Amino acid sequence: DNQENVPRWFNEHQENVLRWLNEHQENVLRWLNEHQINHLNVSGPRESNADGIYNKAYDFIFGLLVLLSEKFSLKRNYEYGRCEFCNRYNTSEVWCQTCDTQKLAQ
């Protein structure tokens, strides 16, 4: 059964999957919207079985929520320049809502 193989495959490839997801958060948001995903069930290995997975999952979901909130509130503006961390346009002259919010949360 393919569904039984997914957890094993993910455990073997989780670093690459998480890296790709983090690099493509805007694509993930677009996919969620295109497929009208209204609920997101988060599951996977426990922290006790996959060291660091909680923080990685938290950072990814937090980043998605920040991007989602940006779509409905602050707009990025090319006149503000690019963020040195994510290379997206800043949301104000001295603020990148995505990166600076994550820095504050740490």
Domain span at residue 86 reads: 75-106
Same domain, 13 and 29: yes
Whole-model pTM: value is 0.49
- Are residues 15 and 64 located together in one domain of the fold? yes
| 22 and 36 co-located in one domain | yes
Same domain, 4 and 37: yes
Specify the pLDDT at position 103.
67
DSSP string computed for the chain: -HHHHHHHHHHHHHHHHHHHHHHTHHHHHHHHHHTT----------TTTSTTHHHHHHHHHHHHHHHHHHHHS----GGG-B-TTT-SBPSBTTB-HHHHHHHHH-
The answer on 48 and 19 residing in a single domain is: yes
Per-residue pLDDT of the chain (106 residues; tens, 9 = 90+): 555 666 676 667 777 777 777 777 878 878 877 888 777 787 877 888 888 888 888 888 888 887 777 665 556 777 888 888 888 888 777 778 778 766 666 6
